[in-house]
Chain A
Amino acid sequence: MKTIIKGGRVIDPKNNLDQCLDVLIEEDRIKEIAPQIREQADQVIDASNKIVAPGLIDLHVHLREPGREDKETILSGTRAAAKGGFTTVLAMPNCEPAIDSPEKVRSLNQRIKKDARVNVLVSSAITLERAGQKITDLDSLQKEGVLAITDDGSSVEDSKIMLNAMQRAKELDLLVIAHCEDVFLSKKGVVNKGFTSTKLGLKGISRESEYSRVARDIELAEKSNARLHIAHVSCRESVEMVAKAKKRGLRVSAETAPHYFALDEEAAWSFDTNMKMNPPLRAKEDAESIRQALAEGVIDVIASDHAPHTINEKAIEFDRAAFGVIGLETELAVAITELVNKKILTLFDLIKKFTVNPASIIKIDKGALSPAAVADLVIFSPEKEWVVKKENLVSKSSNSCFLGKRIKGVVEYTFCQGQMVYARQD
């Protein structure tokens, strides 16, 4: 099986490519990238006026399987990923039960093998049942293919346990992903603490509940020399701490989610539960410093923190509603609309944050269109406009904070391991 993708603007930051080229895929590999490939192919795709990029990588996705298949499954979640242009996602371990043993990883990998439409990387919990008490069997977990460890959804409260886990992670060269939140400071909060919590009469989640934990985890990373990745950075102080850590030469990386640069706390003023996530939407100044951090490279990657929830958990009182929003299907377009079209990032630099950067953080040989590489790629129209509508989402859940928003950037085709896993239909 041969496919030629003709006449697209190929952007591949890893290989420093940005020009009109043809791409030849043979079986699951990229055979050739060159101007005007004249070879017989089974399939020719016209990519003129479109971007051809390495398949996008999302390091923060909740696929909910096993345990909450009512919210999302490996099948539905990876379909959403393919529609969003993602060919590799890192599944978070806060399933029910949590992914905290080699057996659970093995069983999860079997499900992935059966159902996944794109590459799913597996992470495991740092502590058993994510309870913050006992460190998981990292050595065996790694042997089952775990690349990163995280108690995402919670922070490891006990600093000594976190330090021990990081020291072990360093020995094994596992990535540690930190959900930074001091629950004693954020307790029962549901929106950004400040004018928003005051005006709405809701409990606030303070910025210090986030950045004080960012500070701790950076200190522990320095002590242990582990590779630390700060998840969902939402406020200015966290950005500053990551910037300082990088200057000191620590092995620290950071991600943010589209809602933290595209929206701010005012979106929650209508009590819309689709604007409820943790950390919460922060102030305008925070969104501004997130955008700046993306521009300056302080924040390395954009990840969705795709967190599906059923309508039953969202169509209730704001303080009782579940935290989190879905994001895989809107992520690229929101980033193009808010960052590229507003001249904060070039398209080239944006694609970096979705490809080569996450690949190097999680240490996988992906995120590039090198000859002979596995053919994971996306073809998209950056100028095409669309409106986010519930009925068009392929995720099992529809808790998007961008419903009704007009955004630019439409994925036309997604190829994963040489297979067309998504083609736009309409």
Chain B
Amino acid sequence: MQIFKRKDLLGLEELSKEEIEEILFTAESFKEVSTREIKKVPALRGKTVVNLFYEPSTRTRVSFEVAAKRLSADVINVSIETSSVKKGETLIDTGKNIEALKADIIVIRHGSSGAPAMLARHLKANVVNAGDGWHEHPTQALLDIFTLKEKKGKIKDLKVSIIGDIAHSRVARSNIWGLTKLGAQVKVCAPKMLIPPGIEKMGVKITNDIENALNDADAVNILRMQFERDEKAAFPQELEYFKTFGVTEERLEKAKKDIIIMHPGPINRGIEISSAVADGERSVILEQVTNGIAVRMAVLFLVSQSQEQNHEDHN
């Protein structure tokens, strides 16, 4: 019996520990597919997956596309410039049009937090959140957790530090929900202005000291700066950020020898991470990319199997 019965994957906040574990377990079995001579299984044959992207993305879109294709689904990519949407049709109308093409799964990336949730309420198709505003990026967190578990054998009681622009990061939020549900101890580290208010209520510790974040960590997840133009004025120079918060070989000297270095990409060498660390042997950044396919295959497969109906009657 499948534990994950949801029509949609909108975020990790709403998932139970068991549901997350099932996705990870399913991803384990799908990982092998990518090592075969013929990298394909017929799990989603005859299904149509639409990648609906309102924000530019190469990494996530390609990963979903590869995942869907390895499950034998037909994949259509739709990119919409947010600027033209202002005059054009609403998100709900676009979603309904795509559904009218008999799409089975819609993978959506959108700049507005909550957009996938709104779409999911109005459609019968399965909706997978590929990143919404600063809200959630569940498949990224799942692949981070998958990679971490592969390296460390477990998640429970691991000490994980998330370093960087927490305030504007959906990756941070999804990681926090997922990791804490699985029993990890999560610490967030950033300059004060990049720590969003009330984040301790998500079950994390806060530090503004990079040494403190690195010293006892089993793994670190390093995020890039995403602050906006009007906030930039109040922020130190990029170089200054590297000096105070950049993860370097030097800083890692005091860290655990087997610390895992993760980054959701794209990386900015010399800003949040040094090249030596990014390319070093403790870095699993490229393995994260590989694992992303297995995790997204698992998610697409599980939502496609769900029997959950859309009961809400919105118009």
Contact = CB atoms under 8 A, between A and B. Distances in A.
Interface of A: 193-202, 204, 270-271, 311-312, 315-320
B: contact size bracket:
20 to 34
8 contacts: A197-B198, A198-B196, A198-B202, A199-B173, A199-B201, A315-B314, A317-B91, A318-B114
Nearest to B112: A317
Given A200-B114, A271-B113, A271-B114, A319 B133 contact: yes
B110 interface: yes
B8 interface: no
B15 to A, nearest CB: 15
B11 to A, nearest CB: 10
Q: Nearest 8 CB-CB pairs, A to B?
A: A195-B198, A271-B114, A201-B134, A201-B135, A317-B112, A198-B196, A201-B113, A194-B198
Interface string B109-123: 010111101100000
Contact of A318 (B90, B113, B197, B314): B113
Contacts of B135: 200-202
A316 B114 contact: no
B43 interface: no
A319 B118 CA distance: 12
Interface in B89-133: 90-92, 110, 112-115, 117-118, 132-133
Interface of B: 13, 90-92, 110, 112-115, 117-118, 132-136, 170, 173, 196-199, 201-202, 314-315
Contacts of B117: 270-271
A201 B173 contact: yes
A117 B170 CA distance: 50
A193 B167 CA distance: 12
Contact of A317 (B118, B134, B170, B197): B118
B310 to A, nearest CB: 15
A205 to B, nearest CB: 12
Contacts of B92: 315-316
B111 to A, nearest CB: 8
B194 to A, nearest CB: 12
A319 B314 CA distance: 19
Contact of B199 (A198, A200, A204, A311): A198
B201 to A, nearest CB: 5
Given A201-B173, A315-B92, A316-B91, A195 B115 contact: no
Nearest to B119: A317
Instruction: Say what secondary structure dominates the interface of chain A.
Output: helix
Contact of B197 (A197, A270, A312, A319): A197
A199 B176 CA distance: 11
A270 B173 CA distance: 16
A202 B168 CA distance: 9
B136 A201 contact: yes
A317 B111 CA distance: 10
Contacts of A318: 112-114, 118
A393 to B, nearest CB: 14
B197 A193 contact: yes
Contacts of B118: 271, 317-318
A255 B216 CA distance: 52
A319 B315 contact: no
Given A199-B13, A316-B92, A317-B112, 19 more contacts: A194-B198, A197-B196, A197-B198, A198-B202, A199-B201, A201-B113, A201-B132, A201-B135, A201-B136, A202-B114, A202-B134, A202-B135, A271-B113, A315-B314, A317-B118, A318-B112, A318-B113, A319-B112, A319-B113
A394 B59 CA distance: 50
A271 B136 CA distance: 13
Contacts of B110: 317
A311 B197 contact: no
A202 B118 CA distance: 15
A198 B203 CA distance: 13
Contacts of A198: 196-199, 202
B28 to A, nearest CB: 30
Contacts of A312: 90
- Chain A CB within 10 Å — which of B117, B170, B196 has the most? B196
B197 A204 contact: yes
- Chain B CB within 10 Å — which of A197, A201, A271 has the most? A201
